[in-house]
């Protein structure tokens, strides 16, 4: 399993990026964060800090 960011809800605040222990979150060309799901270790740290709750766990 991994986490995914809903790009339609993300406000590009960047709160999730520094808490990721495997550095799999980056900004796209619009500043919206995306998660490299193949690298995600399913820790949930990003979801815990998201102010708009746009990060959710997805099944593989």
What domains lie within the chain, and their CATH numbers?
A: 2-58 (3.30.70.20)
Where residue 28 falls among pLDDT bands split at 50, 70, 90? very high
pLDDT computed for residue 33 by the predictor:
97
Residue 59 pLDDT greater than 80, yes or no = no
CA gyration radius for the chain?
Answer: 10
**CA separation for the pair 10, 32 (Å, rounded):** 6
Residue 1 pLDDT greater than 90, yes or no = no
Torsion sign across C-alpha atoms 35, 23, 43, 16: negative
For residues 57 and 46, the answer to whether their CB atoms sit within 8 Å is no
For residues 6 and 56, the answer to whether their CB atoms sit within 8 Å is yes
- pLDDT average, residue stretch 23-52: 97
The pTM score is 0.90
**CA separation for the pair 14, 27 (Å, rounded):** 8
């Amino acid at each position: 399993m991994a986490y995914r960011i809903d790009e339609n809800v993300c406000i590009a605040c960047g709160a999730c990026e520094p808490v990721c222990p495997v550095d799999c979150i980056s900004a796209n060309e619009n500043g919206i964060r995306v998660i490299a799901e193949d690298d995600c270790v399913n820790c949930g740290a990003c979801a815990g800090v998201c102010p708009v709750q746009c990060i959710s766990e997805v099944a593989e």
